[in-house]
Amino acid sequence: MEFGIGMFGDLSFDKQSGKFRPAEQRLEEMVEEIKLADELGLDIVALGEHHRPDYAISSTAVVLSALATVTKNIKLASGVTVLSSSDPVKVYQDYATLDLLSKGRAEIMAGRGSFTESFPLYGYELENYDALFSEKLELLLTINRDEVISWKGKFRAELRKQQIFPRALKGRELPVWIAVGGTAQSVHRAAILGLPMMLAIIGGMPVQFKEAVDYYRRVYSDSGHNVKDMQLGVHSHTFVADSSKSLIQNYFPFYAEQMNRVGKSRGWPPYTQAQFEGGMSRQGALFMGEPQEVADKIQQVTEMFGLTRFIAHMDVGGPSHSAMMKSIELYGTVVVPAVKKAISAGSADRN
């Protein structure tokens, strides 16, 4: 079981200046936060790609490469690479370079993208949303496996006996995960290819995703893959504080503001404190609260789905740097050890 943190580089909005926080300030803070995560022994950090004014990260590989120079052990992953609007050759080259810089710690989480700003930005049509992803995933996996490529598709120029450099450390294949939101099409694709699946759960109740996980497991096995090799993760909004009351008081305004920014373009109603507190309940999708509350919830979902990885997405709304450092500290020193202990005890009981 691996435990990590996820970030999008959210930028809170300063109402006095009428501007978002400077991206350079948030990036500097993120370096310190990930250094702490590495020192606490967390397994992985996953950074998301966005092309909006309220996020600091558009190029995950660049930020992860900076982190490679100040960390020692933590795995460095995209979370996600919007592969549909990216060039698979460049994605592989960027992450192979990151792999060399980090001595073998690079990973790619590829997704279709729930945000679509990158499509017009890079000249792609949204009507080809899924077809682009399917073709580009095929090419990325081919490049990852083979050094010399001959390939022809619909959306990209043909490759004829083309060598792709650099290669990942010692010629290894980069770990490639498929990030999904729970749609049957995405789950089926990950399963039939035998690829690890990262399930984003950011709303509703985790139990609602049980059918998707069972479907993944069934198709994975039916496709001839060994279930013992299956890797399954959950990526969910997480925040840890000394008290749930203080978390609601101090963090809810940041969270609600970001949810409303995103929701405005998607026709969502205003996000309420009742929704927030409902999400924090034992059945809800927000892994937020006091350390033991969060630990119990992660354990519950881990056992429900048979997870091998949990990624705590911590910077939604751009909370203060001090609050982020505290949340990461509590997650690494209290929550993760408690979950590991509970899982170990449960495993011993079953044996």
Domain extent listing, the chain:
2-350
The crossing angle, in degrees rounded to 10, of helices 291-305 and 210-222 is 40
Can you tell me the mean pLDDT for 299-321?
A: 97
* 112-151 per-position pLDDT tens digit: 988 999 999 999 999 999 999 999 999 999 999 999 999 9
Architecture of domain 2-350: Alpha-Beta Barrel (3.20)
**Closest alpha carbon to 46 in 27, 22, 66, 74:** 74
Distance of CA 268 to the CA centre of its chain: 23
CA separation for the pair 336, 334 (Å, rounded): 6
pTM over the 0.95 mark: yes
- Residue 218 above 90 pLDDT? yes
Q: Is 34 exposed, middle or buried (0-12, 13-18, 19+ CB in 10 A)?
A: buried
Eight-class DSSP state of 114: S
pLDDT for 351 beyond 80? no
Reported as a single tens digit per residue, the pLDDT across 162-180 is: 999 999 999 999 999 999 9
Token couple for 85 = 């609007």
Over residues 253-300, the pLDDT tens digits come to 999 999 999 999 889 999 999 999 999 999 999 999 999 999 999 999
